[in-house]
Amino acid sequence: MATDTLSPQVISETVDFNGGAVVPDFLSADEVSKLRQEAATFLSDLDVSTHPMTVFSTGTEGKEHVGDQYFFDSWNNVSYFFEEGAVGPDGTLKVSKEKSINKIGHGLHVVNDAFRQVSLSKKVQQLASALGMKDPRVLQ
């Protein structure tokens, strides 16, 4: 963790105040590149013809949060969620899947070594400790 730029105390205080924090250089350029490559491979492998076309919504603006079975079953595998407005009324994507995707989740750390290594890394453990977590778990 780049403790020379942000101390654990500053990170914790920033999270408490803002609800989140940016930690510069938390991941190396090589780590970021590897994760981006893995995500690109996941997306390349996605067959939209067999996908339920689940749209991710946070529940803002009077819309319900995504709550279908696909979402609930995503905890231990690679699942794909699309942007609101990306899926047409006929169930097909309006633009390419690369531009339509909202997120890929939630079990990346379960099925992929690169994501597992980062998720279970010492620096993530140190960050969790700095945030006051007593028994942190990687759930999704």
With a cut of 60, say whether residue 136 has pLDDT above it: yes
Q: Is residue 17 part of a domain?
A: no
With a cut of 90, say whether residue 44 has pLDDT above it: yes
- Which range of residues forms the domain containing residue 110? 28-120
Across 35-43, average pLDDT? 97
Q: Is residue 58 part of a domain?
A: yes
Q: Is residue 90 part of a domain?
A: yes
Q: Is residue 113 part of a domain?
A: yes
* Residue 41 CB contacts under 8 Å (≥ 6 apart), including other chains: none
Q: pLDDT tens digit string along 103-134? A: 998 999 999 999 999 999 999 999 999 888 99
Helix (H) or strand (E) holding 14: helix 8-18
Give the pTM.
0.81
Dihedrals phi, psi of 84, to nearest 5 degrees: -60, 135
What helix, strand, coil percent values describe the chain, rounded to 5? 45, 10, 45
Q: Is residue 87 part of a domain?
A: yes
Q: pLDDT tens digit string along 59-108? A: 666 665 566 788 888 889 999 999 989 999 999 999 999 999 999 989 99
Task: Domain count for the chain, please give it.
Answer: 1
